[in-house]
Chain A
Amino acid sequence: MSTRLAIGGLLINRDVPVEFTFNGSRLRGFKGDTLASALLANGESFIGRSFKYHRPRGIVASGAEEPNALVNLGKGARAEPNQRATTTELFEGLEARSQNHWPSLKYDVGAINSKLSHLFPAGFYYKTFMHPRSAWKHVFEPFIRQSAGLGAAPVEKDADRYEYFYATVDVLVIGGGMAGLAAARQAGEAGAKVLLCEQTQAFGGRALVDELEVDGNNGPEWVASEVAALESMERVTLRTRMMGAGVYDHGYVLAYERLGDHELSSTGPRHRLWRIRAKQVITATGAIERPLSFAGNDVPGVMLAAAVRDYVALYGVSPGDRTVVVTNNDDGYRTAMALHAAGLVVPAVLDARTEATGALPEAARAAGLRVETGRGIASVKGTTGVEAVEVCAQAGEGAVLEAISCDCVAMSGGWSPVVHLWSHCGGKLLWDEGQALFRPDAKRPPTGAGGEGFVITAGAASGALQANVALADALDAGKNAVAALGGSASGRAPKAVVPAEEPVAPVWRMPQGAGYKLRSKAFLDYQNDVKVSDVQLAAQEGFESVEHAKRYTTLGMATDQGKLSNINGLAILSDALGQPIPQTGTTTFRPPYTPISMGAIAGEARDGLFKPIRKTPMDGWHDENGAHWEPVADWRRPYTYRGAGESVSEAVTREILNTRTAVGLLDASTLGKILVKGPDAAIFLDLIYTNMMSTLKVGRCRYGLMCTENGFLFDDGVVARLSEDSFLLHTTSGGSDGVYGWLEEWLQTEWWDLKVHCVNLTEQFAQVAVVGPRARAVLETLGGMDVSPDALPFMGFRDGLLGDVPVRVYRISFSGELSYEIALPAGHGLAFWEACLAAGEPHGIMPYGTEALHVMRAEKGFIMIGDETDGTVTPQDLNLGWAVSKKKTDFIGKRAQERSHFQDSERKQLVGLETLDPGALLPDGAHAVEPGLNAYGAARTLGHVTSTYHSPTLERSIAMGLINGGSRRMGEVLDFPVDKGVTIRARVVDPVFLDKDGERQNV
């Protein structure tokens, strides 16, 4: 049983006990523990159940590669599933619960899956749930969802905050182990701006655990001196608890800093996502030990050999009293020696190699340990914990030679360099036959903006597994990074003294001739329950590509992304296919390296900062006066102003009737306003608008249309000619930035010879529309400007004062009423709005919102961009052919409109629609159909409704629609099926429902 040792534990502080709970039990660890080490210290080695077979699982690793020990952390607003116990630092009050079990960890109903595992081979779901189709939806899927899945998704809103941080560096070093420290020092001493990040709480990596001597110091001493040296450098920044998550194009790197995960902090951000641009990236990401594939290698208590000694050295925890070490390399002996030195029992070291003569095996023998070569594990005995191992000859089929009782197995199948970050952006790998591993091919790195390589690996990540080689490699990495920056580094490599190691012997199956029974209990991917037999089945069934085999078996597709299983899996696949490993290749490594929080990805963008909301200068007034908001592009605008006890639709009706009979006030500040000025401004606008703008007289306004080169209408608005060489363009509320960009695009990329400048003045002006029969009276009450029909006729504008505010008054109308739109500096907007309300009070003024605006424009048959247009509608389709110049030789969209289809009289055309039942309201988007079916057996549609409202003015419903050959259908009655058995009938009419002669505004 695992327990806390009396001494040792480099990272823990035994003076600071920390209380936490696991599945409700109160347990105790020390500051510096991970959740995993604290659980082991409390004898908890059975941590969860597996995803598919619900097999008992325990802690396998000591770091980010952990596949099994996933827990639900926290509760309520701080609940988070699938957290690795090995990377979760212990803090006071931590609450953890195991996953994948019901009703409890120890008595789990789903565990029956394990007994039935022969019924659930690779591709089981694909094979079983094909027919009948409905059964999937109603039977299989609900059942599978009920019993599968990892942890529980949180239901409450996340209580924490997150942020980004943008950093630009010369050299980013990812990984603060021996190689990372040494490489960073090289770069730092050469004067480079360096950022070094380490994913765990402590720098040093294996130097903290494995016995070695560097420059006369032991590992921890050397690490401390390197860190101190780096900290003293002005241009070097060191961060712990920060993981290099992904490497992207042009030196872009995401790093994930965990600021609040190791303590319950309510002030600072929990995670910070660093968005780094590095000229050179050094990945000193180390290597991950590979499991060995023997039957029962997933029983709790079977662990990676290096993890076993990590727990001893870093946390003072023994994973077991009696640990059998099984290995195919010399490194595994370090674990045997570490356990022996800690006073624990190592009954045997089983070495799959036929001989073991290196310094480490010899040292083990000298210490009196039993070393058996050519041996492997046939099977592990025990279910919720290791009870014994059955020893066999590695070369055989698994005949049991003896059983050794033990409570822990430390396995070492060799090491795989962590090449993820190298590979994310296209770095290539090569197969190192001698070391049996894939390592980066330094000649084919990811390339940056200038075509140069920008990632360099250092140390074990390069495949340099032994400390002395790793440090030399790190020196080169640092030097090469500095050279790539145009500098030179002259540092000396730290000299490490380590025992020489004999080569690893690849062991992909244990024993070599394991039969089906053993292979089907030998797990490759712990988290997704993929066994050796599954990969072999995939190969047998024709899934020969590694990417196909991966998807078929789900090997490497769990949250650990196959950190332990990938190499073993593709070796098994290669073997089954009878081809060398490099020919099989690897699957693609994708970021992030380990899962990062959704909060970190979102950064600051939540709540009020989720999306910027543009506000007009009068926004606060609207908010205080009953505004029912509506988003209009990025703006928020009052849809209507609700009075006390008033419904939204009642408020809209009141606003319309008041505007039609007295006077209304509209905040039109959101309209785009673009100044276009220059000797060629008129020529330019003739190209931009479909209408002729060059003939517009100074002081006058004209309604204009803009089309795309494809001939379709995309924006409209009133143009005012301010002077011979300057125009003010109004755009739709959503179109101001787009139209401004459009103008600039044509000026800069096509007609750059034109002498024209544009300024987007949308934000400079507030705009207020005073609308209705009493509008002139309101302006006269404000005083300061002659607004009589002669002084300010329809489609004219004047500059001057209203009250004492400098204004420009346009006499234009989007409602059919007498109407003035008044533009003024935004800073005066609110005061002027209030002045209008005061001046208008005797005249019955009321503010109105966008819905009243919409209804009133529809009553007049005015189109709205986005309602009557959808990117496939021409001005001619909307009866706006009068605004398309026939005289101009060119404008944007003219050539497109010459195409034959644009002349087709059967195109959809805008019509009014009058329901036969005046009380019936056509739904927006409802389709008109004619009898019969089309070639596809569907209804024959004629067109659809684009705008539809109840008109309080006309006391009936009104609608507009785009109908095939609409203009020749006047008087026809069309069918609009709107629901099963319900059809609304409507007559095609002129879209101008109110005041066809425009008498209301002609006053």
Chain B
Amino acid sequence: MSETVQVARLNSRGMITLKGDLADQDFQDVAVKITGLSFPSQREIRLSGEMGLAWMAADEVLLMLPVEDVSAAIETADEMLRRAPAVVANVTDARVLFSLKGKRSREVLAKLAPVDLSREAFQPGQIRRTRLAQVAAAFWMPQEAQFEIMCFRSVADYVTELLEMSAAPGTVPEYF
């Protein structure tokens, strides 16, 4: 119970939802062109600096980018996907991001999410959509001992309290 886990609410990050046929080359090209990252496979996330590209569902990816680049990116996407049955939506304001940092971050999250958070089961490069206690959330690991957590804006206060309570000093077991 020595090291503490730091909880922080992150600055807004640009986010674009792309829904369509993930196998379609145009669709993949849009995501790759905007983020400069390779297209992720099932439940994978690519990250580089402020850029991110996450597999969200069988017909959906999430693009992360600097907020100021969102408008131009949406124009690009709309243009490239003009003929495809796809949808591009700005969801920057719909989500809130948190980070957990510290050796026992896995334990903090394991109090809230019904997910196997062992090193074998969950590593950097993966994204998991699940629930944190009573609300929907997704998380990934930029690197070991570090999580980024995404939830809906309206429940940000709830998630803040959840994370802070779970990370309270002296309460985090050493398990993983």
Chain A positions within 8 Å of B, measured between CB atoms, are: 161, 163-168, 193, 237, 267-269, 272, 275, 277, 603-605, 608-609, 611-617, 635, 675, 677-679, 726, 755-757, 759, 761-765, 825-828
Point out the residues of chain A lying under 8 angstroms from B89, CB to CB.
675, 759, 761, 764
Please provide the chain B residues from 160 to 174 with a CB less than 8 Å away from any CB of chain A in the complex: 161-162, 165-166, 168-171, 173
Q: A168-B118, A605-B134 in contact; A825/B93 too (CB < 8 A)? A: yes
Q: A168-B121, A272-B173, A608-B161 in contact; A757/B19 too (CB < 8 A)? A: yes
Name 20 extra pairs, CB < 8 A, besides A163-B165, A759-B87, A764-B89: A161-B165, A164-B111, A165-B110, A165-B111, A165-B175, A166-B110, A168-B118, A237-B175, A267-B168, A267-B169, A268-B171, A675-B89, A757-B59, A757-B85, A759-B17, A759-B19, A761-B91, A764-B91, A764-B92, A825-B93
Point out the residues of chain A lying under 8 angstroms from B59, CB to CB.
757
Range of interface residues on B (Cβ < 8 Å): 35 or more
Question: Do A166 and B117 have beta carbons less than 8 Å apart?
Answer: yes
Point out the residues of chain A lying under 8 angstroms from B85, CB to CB.
678-679, 755-757
Point out the residues of chain A lying under 8 angstroms from B121, CB to CB.
168
Question: Do A763 and B134 have beta carbons less than 8 Å apart?
Answer: no
Question: Do B87 and A678 have beta carbons less than 8 Å apart?
Answer: yes
Q: With both chains docked as a complex, state the minimum distance between the C-beta of A92 and any C-beta of chain B, in angstroms.
A: 19
Partner of A604, one of B120, B153, B157, B165: B165
Bound complex: CA of A761 vs CA of B166, how far in Å? 30
Which residue of the partner chain B has the closest CB to A737? B136
5 closest A-B pairs by beta carbon, nearest first, are A168-B116, A614-B154, A763-B94, A826-B93, A764-B94
Which residue of the partner chain A has the closest CB to B172? A268
Please provide the chain B residues from 8 to 56 with a CB less than 8 Å away from any CB of chain A in the complex: 12, 17, 19-20
Partner of A617, one of B112, B114, B153, B158: B153
Q: With both chains docked as a complex, state the minimum distance between the C-beta of B172 and any C-beta of chain A, in angstroms.
A: 9
Point out the residues of chain B lying under 8 angstroms from A277, CB to CB.
116
Q: With both chains docked as a complex, state the minimum distance between the C-beta of B9 and any C-beta of chain A, in angstroms.
A: 14
Identify 17 residue pairs between A and B in the complex whose beta-carbon atoms are under 8 Å apart, listed by A's number: A163-B165, A163-B171, A165-B107, A165-B110, A603-B133, A604-B111, A604-B166, A605-B134, A609-B161, A609-B162, A679-B85, A757-B87, A759-B89, A761-B94, A765-B93, A827-B92, A828-B93
Which residue of the partner chain A has the closest CB to B114? A166
Bound complex: CA of A207 vs CA of B133, how far in Å? 41
Point out the residues of chain A lying under 8 angstroms from B145, CB to CB.
none
B86, CB-defined interface residue at 8 Å: yes
Q: A163-B166, A268-B170, A277-B116 in contact; A763/B161 too (CB < 8 A)? A: no
Point out the residues of chain B lying under 8 angstroms from A604, CB to CB.
111-112, 133, 162, 165-166
Point out the residues of chain A lying under 8 angstroms from B168, CB to CB.
267
B115, CB-defined interface residue at 8 Å: yes
Q: With both chains docked as a complex, state the minimum distance between the C-beta of A676 and any C-beta of chain B, in angstroms.
A: 9
Point out the residues of chain A lying under 8 angstroms from B94, CB to CB.
761-764, 826
Point out the residues of chain B lying under 8 angstroms from A755, CB to CB.
85
Please provide the chain B residues from 88 to 121 with a CB less than 8 Å away from any CB of chain A in the complex: 89-95, 107, 110-118, 120-121
Which residue of the partner chain A has the closest CB to B95? A763
B80, CB-defined interface residue at 8 Å: no
Q: With both chains docked as a complex, state the minimum distance between the C-beta of B104 and any C-beta of chain A, in angstroms.
A: 12
Bound complex: CA of A582 vs CA of B161, how far in Å? 54
Q: Which of B112, B113, B156 has the most CB of A within 10 A?
A: B112
Q: Which of A272, A611, A678, A679 has the most CB of B within 10 A?
A: A678
Question: Do A614 and B155 have beta carbons less than 8 Å apart?
Answer: yes
Q: With both chains docked as a complex, state the minimum distance between the C-beta of B39 and any C-beta of chain A, in angstroms.
A: 18
Q: A163-B166, A615-B157, A678-B85 in contact; A275/B114 too (CB < 8 A)? A: yes
Bound complex: CA of A164 vs CA of B110, how far in Å? 8
Which residue of the partner chain B has the closest CB to A765? B93
Q: A165-B111, A165-B175, A168-B118 in contact; A612/B91 too (CB < 8 A)? A: no
Q: A168-B118, A757-B87, A759-B17 in contact; A613/B93 too (CB < 8 A)? A: no
Question: Do B171 and A269 have beta carbons less than 8 Å apart?
Answer: yes
Point out the residues of chain A lying under 8 angstroms from B161, CB to CB.
608-609
Please provide the chain B residues from 114 to 145 with a CB less than 8 Å away from any CB of chain A in the complex: 114-118, 120-121, 133-135
Which residue of the partner chain B has the closest CB to A725? B85
Which residue of the partner chain B has the closest CB to A164? B111
Q: A165-B173, A237-B175, A763-B94 in contact; A612/B155 too (CB < 8 A)? A: yes
Question: Do A166 and B175 have beta carbons less than 8 Å apart?
Answer: no
Which residue of the partner chain B has the closest CB to A617? B153
Which residue of the partner chain B has the closest CB to A763? B94
Q: With both chains docked as a complex, state the minimum distance between the C-beta of B77 and any C-beta of chain A, in angstroms.
A: 13
Q: Which of B93, B110, B134, B155 has the most CB of A within 10 A?
A: B93
Point out the residues of chain B lying under 8 angstroms from A828, CB to CB.
93
Quick one: CB contact mask for B57-95 with A, threshold 8 Å, 1 for yes?
001000000000000000000000000011101111111
Bound complex: CA of A268 vs CA of B171, how far in Å? 5
Question: Do A166 and B113 have beta carbons less than 8 Å apart?
Answer: yes
Point out the residues of chain B lying under 8 angstroms from A726, CB to CB.
87
Q: A609-B158, A679-B85, A757-B85 in contact; A167/B110 too (CB < 8 A)? A: yes
Q: With both chains docked as a complex, state the minimum distance between the C-beta of A606 and any C-beta of chain B, in angstroms.
A: 10
Point out the residues of chain B lying under 8 angstroms from A678, CB to CB.
85, 87
Q: Which of B85, B86, B162 has the most CB of A within 10 A?
A: B85
Bound complex: CA of A605 vs CA of B111, how far in Å? 12
Bound complex: CA of A609 vs CA of B153, how far in Å? 16
Bound complex: CA of A826 vs CA of B155, how far in Å? 13
Which residue of the partner chain B has the closest CB to A607? B161
Which residue of the partner chain B has the closest CB to A760? B94
Question: Do B87 and A827 have beta carbons less than 8 Å apart?
Answer: no
Partner of B135, one of A165, A608, A612: A612
Bound complex: CA of A269 vs CA of B1, how far in Å? 13
Q: With both chains docked as a complex, state the minimum distance between the C-beta of B8 and any C-beta of chain A, in angstroms.
A: 18
Partner of A827, one of B93, B116, B117, B154: B93
Q: With both chains docked as a complex, state the minimum distance between the C-beta of A771 and any C-beta of chain B, in angstroms.
A: 23
Point out the residues of chain B lying under 8 angstroms from A759, CB to CB.
17, 19, 87, 89, 91
Q: A166-B113, A759-B89, A826-B93 in contact; A612/B166 too (CB < 8 A)? A: no
Q: With both chains docked as a complex, state the minimum distance between the C-beta of B94 and any C-beta of chain A, in angstroms.
A: 4
Bound complex: CA of A726 vs CA of B89, how far in Å? 12
Q: Which of A275, A726, A759, A828 has the most CB of B within 10 A?
A: A759
Q: A166-B110, A825-B92, A827-B92 in contact; A267/B157 too (CB < 8 A)? A: no
Q: With both chains docked as a complex, state the minimum distance between the C-beta of A660 and any C-beta of chain B, in angstroms.
A: 30
Question: Do A193 and B118 have beta carbons less than 8 Å apart?
Answer: yes
Question: Do A612 and B158 have beta carbons less than 8 Å apart?
Answer: yes
Point out the residues of chain A lying under 8 angstroms from B152, CB to CB.
614, 763
Question: Do B118 and A166 have beta carbons less than 8 Å apart?
Answer: no
Point out the residues of chain A lying under 8 angstroms from B166, CB to CB.
163, 604
Point out the residues of chain B lying under 8 angstroms from A827, CB to CB.
12, 92-93
Point out the residues of chain A lying under 8 angstroms from B134, CB to CB.
605, 611-612
Q: With both chains docked as a complex, state the minimum distance between the C-beta of A683 and any C-beta of chain B, in angstroms.
A: 13
Partner of B86, one of A608, A614, A757: A757
Bound complex: CA of A679 vs CA of B154, how far in Å? 32
Question: Do B115 and A166 have beta carbons less than 8 Å apart?
Answer: yes
Bound complex: CA of A677 vs CA of B91, how far in Å? 16
Which residue of the partner chain B has the closest CB to A806? B71
Which residue of the partner chain A has the closest CB to B118? A168
Which residue of the partner chain B has the closest CB to A616? B154
Question: Do A613 and B158 have beta carbons less than 8 Å apart?
Answer: yes
Point out the residues of chain A lying under 8 angstroms from B173, CB to CB.
165, 272
Bound complex: CA of A605 vs CA of B17, how far in Å? 32
Which residue of the partner chain A has the closest CB to B85? A755
Which residue of the partner chain A has the closest CB to B152? A763
Bound complex: CA of A675 vs CA of B165, how far in Å? 36
Bound complex: CA of A611 vs CA of B120, how far in Å? 32
Point out the residues of chain A lying under 8 angstroms from B135, CB to CB.
612
Question: Do A826 and B87 have beta carbons less than 8 Å apart?
Answer: no
Bound complex: CA of A269 vs CA of B91, how far in Å? 37
Question: Do B154 and A763 have beta carbons less than 8 Å apart?
Answer: yes
Bound complex: CA of A759 vs CA of B16, how far in Å? 11
Which residue of the partner chain A has the closest CB to B135? A612
Bound complex: CA of A323 vs CA of B13, how far in Å? 75
